[in-house]
Amino acid sequence: MNNKNPGLNDELKVKAQSKNIKKNPINGTKYTIAISSAKGGVGKSTFATNISLALKKLGCKIGLLDADIYGPSLPKLFSINEKPTSEGNILNPIIKYNIQCMSIGFLTEEQTPMIWRGPMVTSAIRTFTQKVAWKDLDFIIVDMPPGTGDTQLTFSQEINMDGVIIISTPQEIALQDVKRGINMFDKLGVKIIGLVDNMSHFIGDDGKKYAIFGQGGVKRTADEFKKDFLGEIPINSDIGKLGDEGMPIVEKDSEHEISKIYLSLAKKIKSVYL
């Protein structure tokens, strides 16, 4: 008999696989929180680094895992130029700003392309979750790559993820991918903590607010999918400048208006889990 609805069958198969595979926590951690969007260029990595630093400033022990194999950002954002040491086949995370860090970028040259097929990416992710000596962490923050592919599926099916924060700009072209990401995590049974409107607006020298990428799109998407809306992070030149210098804004100046937003978000996350 012809299959008239292969999409539905694929969806049911994914759900069944997610339920049947035993999910394991990452050793040495209490809670695993992913930062995702399914869209590139919306500020996931910048958010992941700054929310990690904000949680650290609230007294949490934090690990930061850069899971973007093809485009790792953590080495640049934290200005890490060393390679991790190892004990046997176990890698030791590199500690920067009192945060335990791991990235494929620590193991390769900066401009080396990772020309890998899916199975190699999956193998690398398993190495980072099973063969890194994470120690006594309250949270491990996972900076997810764009898309809805191998990395997201590996984490969702094999790792006991405690939640995911969805990052997006308010532009509709970004939100199209974000909606796919929300549907993916819902199908895989991963809790969505909420959505963040990144680069929501710019305040000019005249004091006026300019919604460069549109206005309210992330909030409308959160309402559409019945998810929590966690707030807005405006465009600020200090964010990009300090990220390029390897000292994210929350670490450089905790009194900055942007840092206060991150600290407020971190308090929300901490209150949910600790």
CATH number at residue 187: 3.40.50.300
In a domain? residue 241: yes
- Assign 3-class secondary structure to 131-166: CECCCCEEEEEEECCCCCCHHHHHHHHHECCCEEEE
In a domain? residue 11: no
In a domain? residue 2: no
In a domain? residue 135: yes
**Closest CA relative to residue 40, chosen from 147, 161, 141:** 147
In a domain? residue 195: yes
In a domain? residue 232: yes
- Structurally, the chain folds into a number of domains equal to 1
Is the pTM here over 0.85, yes or no? Answer: yes
End-to-end Cα separation, the chain, in angstroms = 52
Domain assignment of residue 142, given as a range: 23-273
> For every one of its 274 residues, what pLDDT tens digit does the chain have, with 9 covering 90 and above?
444 444 545 554 454 444 545 577 899 999 999 999 989 899 999 999 999 999 999 999 999 999 999 999 999 999 999 999 999 999 999 999 999 999 999 998 877 888 888 889 999 999 999 999 999 999 999 999 998 888 999 999 899 899 999 999 999 999 999 999 999 999 999 999 999 999 999 988 898 889 989 899 999 999 999 999 999 999 999 999 999 999 999 999 999 999 999 999 999 999 999 8
In a domain? residue 269: yes
In a domain? residue 9: no
